[in-house]
Structures are given as C-alpha cells and as structure tokens.
C-alpha cells in the first residue's frame, strides 16, 4: 500500500546527539522516540526506521526497535534495512520485516537482481522501495554508470517495474539530485518515490518538492529534524519544525 505523500520522519537514533538528560537512561532510545513520535504524529505521512541505528546498540537496540515499532502504532512505517540476498534468504528478510516487525514498506538493494527482490514484491498489500539513485556521494560510483546510453539507476527502475508483484513498488531517489529527480518524474510520473537526503545531507526541501512535481512521494528528514534542539523541551522545537516541513511538502 502506497503511503500518503508528505513528510517522512526518520527515526535514526544517535545516543550522542539526544538531549543529555536522557542519555544515561537505559531506555533512552524509547523515551526519545516516544516524544519525537508524539510531537510529529499530527503531521507525519509516515515514519522511517533505519535498522542500522538499532542494531548498532546490540540486543538493547533490538529491544528498542521493537518498542519503537509498538509506539508508532497505526501510523505508516517504512523499515529501512536495504536488504537483498538470494531468493530463499530474501524471503527470510521479508518475513522478518513485514511479519515480525510489521512494516508497511521496506527498502531493498537491487544488485543481486530479480530473485533477490521478488520475495518482497510477492507480499500482498506491501510496499517495496528499491534503491535507484541514492542521496550519498557514492551514488556516483556505480549507479550513474552508462549502459546502452542509459544510467544504471534508470535501467534498475525499468527492469524492476517489469517484474511480477502482489504489492506496490517504488524507488529511493535522493533529494541531493534535484535535476535527476525532475528528469525521472518525466519518465515515471506515477511511481512512488522515497526521497531521503533533505537537511543534513544537503538536499533543499523546497527545491526537492518542486523537482518532484505531483508524483507520489514521501520526503524523509532524519537528523535535520531530530537533533535541532538539545533542550529538555526538545520536542517543542521538533514539533514546530515538523509542521513547517510538512506544510512545505504538501504545497
């Protein structure tokens, strides 16, 4: 199921950047995320949970991951894990993410091809975002290589769209590539995009929204939203910034 377009709140937890009074608590992640979610629930189109930041904390982080999933409740949630493996192994990841962590959507890496992506696409009422042109500097290394006059990321998109599926499919296109985003919208006007990279990574919210035009898209902001205040009432600042961003992304 495609999420509503708008602001995606990325819950990329960093214990070194959360307000100091929370850091020493064993449930610091849960208490921080609880307030972020409460402060943004009225304007967030969805939440994105990047598993790396929880796995980094070991077993305690895994507990925080499951607790965070519970807090998100009925809101739309993207489990951002960028998995991808041979068929039977991708099927195991799909179970972990869609069943056990109750993801509405997941992110998947395309390098291993069709049988590595199809177990995700085979889940009914699901949403799979395949990496296309990512927001990071390394997107220049392989994604932009030219094959028969076409960049690899566009070849990936065309190929993935030709595969069978029960759920919906879309792509990750970084906000740091506004020109390419606009170009992709002329080729794929109705395909859902997950657009990260606004804020800390350098993507400008207004320019990204303009480049995307009317295509279905969620615009993710993580560090640029979560860590704008280290005060005890940090959630007030997050609420105001989330409202500002959400308005921009709706217009």
Distance CA 112, CA 17 (A): 35
| DSSP one-letter string for the chain | -PPPSEEEEE----TTTS-HHHHTSTTHHHHHHHHHHHHHTTT-SEEEEETHHHHTTHHHHHHHHHHHHHHHTTS-EEEEEEE--SHHHHHHHHIIIIIIS--SEEEE--TT-HHHHHHHHTSTT-EEEEEEE-SSGGGGTTTT-EETTEEHHHHHHHHHHTS--SSEEEEEE-TT-HHHHHHHHHH-TTS-EEE--BSTTSB-HHHHHHHHTTS-EEEEESHHHHTS--STTHHHHHHHHHHHHHHHHH-
Residue from 31, 41, 69, 82 carrying the catalytic annotation = 82
Contact stretch for a second copy (CB under 8 A) within 19-27, 35-43, 93-101, 213-221: 93-101
Residue 69 contacts a second copy per CB under 8 A: no
Closest to a second copy by CB, 107 or 212: 107
Question: Where on the phi/psi map is residue 44: left (φ > 0), alpha (ψ -120 to 50), or beta?
Answer: beta
48 is known as an active-site residue: no
User: Residue 201, interface with a second copy (CB under 8 A)?
Assistant: yes
Is residue 26 close enough to count as binding a second copy by CB under 8 A?
Answer: no
Considering the complex, state which of residue 39 and residue 133 has its C-beta at the smaller distance from a second copy.
133
Choice between 115 and 243, CB closer to a second copy? 115
Handedness of CA 118, 215, 203, 127 (dihedral sign): negative
Q: How far is the CB of 147 from a second copy (least distance, A)?
A: 5
* Binding status of residue 55 toward a second copy by CB under 8 A: yes
Residues in 116-145 at the binding interface with a second copy, rule: CB under 8 A: 116-117, 131, 134-143, 145
Task: Give the nearest distance from C-beta 8 to a second copy in angstroms.
Answer: 15
Q: How many residues bind a second copy, per CB under 8 A? A: 54
Question: Taking CB under 8 A as the rule, does residue 165 contact a second copy?
Answer: no
The one segment of 20-28, 39-47, 147-155, 227-235 that binds a second copy by CB under 8 A: 147-155
Determine which residue in the list 5, 68, 90, 126 makes contact with a second copy, applying CB under 8 A: 90
Catalytic sites, residue numbers = 82
In the complex, the residues that contact a second copy under the rule CB under 8 A are 12, 50, 52-53, 55-59, 61-63, 66, 82-87, 89-90, 92-93, 95-96, 100, 109-117, 131, 134-143, 145-147, 152, 155-156, 159, 201
């Amino acid at each position: 199921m495609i999420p509503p377009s708008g602001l995606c709140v990325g819950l990329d937890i960093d214990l070194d950047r959360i307000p100091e009074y929370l850091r020493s608590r064993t449930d610091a992640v849960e208490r921080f995320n609880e307030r972020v979610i409460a402060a943004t629930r009225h304007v967030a189109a969805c939440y994105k949970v990047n598993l790396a930041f929880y796995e980094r904390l070991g077993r305690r982080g895994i507990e925080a991951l499951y607790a965070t999933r519970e807090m998100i409740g009925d809101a739309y949630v993207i489990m951002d894990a960028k998995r991808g493996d041979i068929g039977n192994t991708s099927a195991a990841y799909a179970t972990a993410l869609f069943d056990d962590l109750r993801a509405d959507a997941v992110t998947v890496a395309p390098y291993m091809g069709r049988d590595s992506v199809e177990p995700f696409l085979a889940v009914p009422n699901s949403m799979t975002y395949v990496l296309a042109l990512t927001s990071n500097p390394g997107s220049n290394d392989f994604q932009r290589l030219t094959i028969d006059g076409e960049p690899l990321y566009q070849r990936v998109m065309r190929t993935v769209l030709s595969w069978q599926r029960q759920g919906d499919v879309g792509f990750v296109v970084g906000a740091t590539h506004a020109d390419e985003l606009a170009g992709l919208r002329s080729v794929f006007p109705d395909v859902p995009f997950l657009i990260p990279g606004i804020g800390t990574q350098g993507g400008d919210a207004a320019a990204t929204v303009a480049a995307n035009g009317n295509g279905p898209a969620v615009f993710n902001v993580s560090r640029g939203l979560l860590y704008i205040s280290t005060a005890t009432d940090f959630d007030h600042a997050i609420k105001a910034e989330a409202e500002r961003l959400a308005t921009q992304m709706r217009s």
